[in-house]
Structure formats: structure tokens, C-alpha cells
Amino acid sequence: KAGVTQTPRYLIKTRGQQVTLSCSPISGHRSVSWYQQTPGQGLQFLFEYFSETQRNKGNFPGRFSGRQFSNSRSEMNVSTLELGDSALYLCASSLSGRTGSYGNTIYFGEGSWLTVV
């Protein structure tokens, strides 16, 4: 079956702009979570959506937002981009929201590389 698909794969934005990243989860998966990966901070949790509702949110400023649609596809948006927002943004999906429970494997997409100049 198709894996988690993220678009775009690479993009370059200018400081102050905004960006929208898209994620299509594995078919049948209802939970989508987003992570930011940087060399300095590693992988950090941004937010999690389940059945169109944001269930959990990480410690990121309000410039970072997201949503999930009825078909479980998700988008994240970063407004007023800063240089420090340059990172690999990873989307992950799983069947349900019980992370870590047996059988509820979390699958990651290949990520969207964002460079802010």
C-alpha cells in the first residue's frame, strides 16, 4: 500500500513569508502527527490530529498551525517565516491515536525540506 506522502519535497522561502506543507496518510490511517527535525534540536513534536481534531500540540509558537481534513489528509502552515524555521518537516500517520500501543505502528513520510533565506 502507498506510504505517507508529503509535498512539496523541497522548497525555499524568504523570511516573513508563509508556507503550507501537505501530508497524505496511509489509507485507513486517521491519526496524523507532524515533527520538525533540525541538526541542533533533533526531532521535535509539533502537533497531532485525529479525526479532524487537534489532539495534542508541542511547544512551538502560534506561527505554526495545522489542520486535518475529513479524508485524513493534513496540512501544516508556518506564517512569518524565520531563518530558524529551516528544517525537515516530517509527517507521520497511524491507525489510531494510541501511540505506542501494539499494532499501532507510526509510519513517517520522507519529509519536506524547508529552507528560509
Partner 1 sequence: GQQLNQSPQSMFIQEGEDVSMNCTSSSIFNTWLWYKQDPGEGPVLLIALYKAGELTSNGRLTAQFGITRKDSFLNISASIPSDVGIYFCAGPFGNTPLVFGKGTRLSVIA
Residues that bind partner 1 (CB under 8 A): 4, 31, 33, 35, 42-45, 48, 55-56, 58-59, 90, 92, 97, 99-102, 105-111
What's the one-letter identity of residue 110? E
Q: Give min distance, CB of 63 to partner 1, in A.
A: 19
- Please tell me the distance from the alpha carbon of residue 77 to that of residue 71, in angstroms, as a whole number: 18
User: 114 and 19 in contact (C-beta within 8 Å)?
Assistant: yes
Cβ count near 59 (within 10 Å): 7
Q: Give min distance, CB of 26 to partner 1, in A.
A: 13
Three state DSSP letters for 2-41: CCCEEECCEEEECCCCCEEEEEECCCCCCEEEEEEEECCC
Residue 20 or 108: the one with the smaller Cβ distance to partner 1 is: 108
Residue 48 or 85: the one with the smaller Cβ distance to partner 1 is: 48
Q: Give min distance, CB of 87 to partner 1, in A.
A: 13
Residue 75 or 79: the one with the smaller Cβ distance to partner 1 is: 75
Q: Give min distance, CB of 43 to partner 1, in A.
A: 4
